[in-house]
Structure 1
């Protein structure tokens, strides 16, 4: 029986539009920094993608800085003037936590994820009052939004968010791996992410990944088309069907964030005592690709920091798995998955009795 890929939050399959754009870009001989015809052709491919990204995320093309991914883009937190302290949302991705200051009380930057990769929970963007971002009792000069999981799945516009910075990664919506972008509000002065020849408007030196960037632009354009056509509404119904089938037979299952606003494709649930990594391995053998925690922490057997931050105990946090659907996920795949999970859950309960 064919495998079912249910790990879209880790990475999405490359879209046909992205493949076509990358194949075409492979025939571009020139360096985008060269002034001859070949160089200008490569530069045009980069600028076309910059325009595609800007339209998709609601920003100006000049605010799009291509990087090797969202993790690299997060380095901007160490490049702001005066090296201000950074406070980080408790459930944020590890790429933000890596820049957290020891003393968050004196921080002037707040970094957060808009949609959580493990749970799908969508956070509220802080309010800006008298020129400062208000988070609880603290005020911050800058706001950085990690919108990696949100782009193409829920409406978002950098302009209306008011944020100063945002992070994007192409492979989450069907682009190639290893390319992303920092969205940096025009007028904010930062040191370059990398030093060298002054590429990307002086923000990130190094010859641009023309092939990857071309795929990035095509993928984000296609992803926004899916969103506008309402394709994720069908996915949300499949996700709800999955959860209903599980809770009907395994009433002790804990669904994380079920009553919160979530991404339409994400189900995170735990059967306390049944290790998440054990479930992932058993389901993999049964033909299903799912995750326990963030893919960036794969191979590390540890309790989910995200679920701990949400108040779950260690037993529950270590027992959770994430099932994340895509636009092409089928009813048959969901039916087969729930049958497989419930069968293995019954065996787990029998052993635990």
Structure 2
């Protein structure tokens, strides 16, 4: 089996599975209990936060544990919008955010907030001048993802932070789910106030994530209850998964520079292989500084993406179309449409995502399978290959 859908979810480290099982067996106390078992559990939670905080260069008391990246995004955006509404009701995001961000902003619009959705260029990247133009006296929140979960475009988060330095009253949120443990990220140094992470994207367990909240940022709780997580996120902490998340992040961050270089090497080989198949076209930027190391996106214009996914699955190779949260939908990719792709291209987008454990032989196996699949499917299109393979 060749699993190439790491942007959807990653197989957990064996050490993480063992750690989660051990904590479930040995440390089942409630972290809020005052007896010894509760205090042991609380100590594990705090130690895990210190590991997560250390990876980001922030303080442990700035880490809020959540159930996933979606909850972290919802908590950050809704809480900030509500908490600072007395300053203004204008919010800024982009047209290519993850559904857990876009749908939140659409909900906020229904509640009377004004939202500016920044467009992107044909590489899937926002233009800094357009961000500057969008900011006004009523702007209270800017939310922009670091790495796009579908096409892998990297947003200029550090530069955006520099721009927002001139606007100290604006809260800056970053969905860093696809970037953490893949690319350098120092939220405090980059003027990021809030950032979201999800454990299962860096080989941790599903069902746990975190939100970094810079000290001093007020967040209105979205859950009423016992006041856990500094009163921001009520609910008994999931100790085993929190510990598993911390362990996975620590393991993922080891030799991260070397791992990133290896991912780019695999990415380069896949891109070159896809570029040699006339019917296929790479999506987005060809510059590695603008493309995530673990994602390759391409289109097979005229062919439904799910047809290719299942054709590769028959060869025991697993890839995906859009984000896992929306891959079951048959509509064209909104991200690709925003990048200027035709509806035909946007209905045929495919995502390859991988890890540092993949090899050049894996890349070659994928390309060989793609060639066979294209040769089988292309005659169904009855379109000259010169048209099918037009590069974006």
TM-score with structure 1 length normalisation?
0.93
TM-fit CA distance, 1:176: 0.4
Of 364, 371, 389, the residue aligned with 1:342 is 371
Residue number in structure 2 paired with 1:10 = 8
> Is 1:149–2:178 an aligned residue pair?
yes
SS in 2 for 1:196: coil
TM-fit CA distance, 1:88: 1.6
Q: Is the 8 A contact 2:57 2:186 kept in 1?
A: yes
Of 243, 250, 253, the residue aligned with 1:221 is 250
Contiguous gaps of at least 5 residues in structure 1: 134-138
Q: Is the 8 A contact 1:86 1:99 kept in 2?
A: no
Stretch of structure 1 that moved more, 44-53 or 326-335:
326-335
TM-fit CA distance, 1:235: 2.1
Residue number in structure 2 paired with 1:61 = 60
How many aligned positions are there?
344
Q: 1:129 to 1:292 in 2, by over 3 A?
A: closer
> Is 1:49–2:48 an aligned residue pair?
yes
TM-fit CA distance, 1:252: 4.2
SS in 2 for 1:279: helix
| Distance (Å, rounded) in 1 between the aligned partners of 2:187 and 2:139 | 23
TM-fit CA distance, 1:175: 0.5
Q: 1:202 to 1:140 in 2, by over 3 A?
A: closer
| Distance (Å, rounded) in 1 between the aligned partners of 2:165 and 2:266 | 42
1:320-352 Cα distance to aligned partner (Å, 9 max, x none):
100001121123322221111111112222222
Contiguous gaps of at least 5 residues in structure 2: 117-137, 383-392
Q: Is the 8 A contact 1:302 1:318 kept in 2?
A: yes
Q: Is the 8 A contact 1:96 1:112 kept in 2?
A: no
Residue number in structure 1 paired with 2:388 = none
| Distance (Å, rounded) in 1 between the aligned partners of 2:208 and 2:222 | 14
1:300-323 Cα distance to aligned partner (Å, 9 max, x none):
111111111111111111111000
SS in 1 for 2:104: coil
Residue number in structure 1 paired with 2:229 = 200
Residue number in structure 2 paired with 1:255 = 282
Of 224, 229, 232, the residue aligned with 2:260 is 232
TM-score with structure 2 length normalisation?
0.84
| Distance (Å, rounded) in 2 between the aligned partners of 1:176 and 1:115 | 21
Q: Is the 8 A contact 1:89 1:112 kept in 2?
A: yes
1:24-65 Cα distance to aligned partner (Å, 9 max, x none):
211113110111111111011111110010011121111100
Q: 1:70 to 1:55 in 2, by over 3 A?
A: same
Q: Is the 8 A contact 2:96 2:338 kept in 1?
A: yes
1:76-115 Cα distance to aligned partner (Å, 9 max, x none):
2112214444322111111110121433255421111100
| Distance (Å, rounded) in 2 between the aligned partners of 1:68 and 1:85 | 28
> Is 1:123–2:170 an aligned residue pair?
no
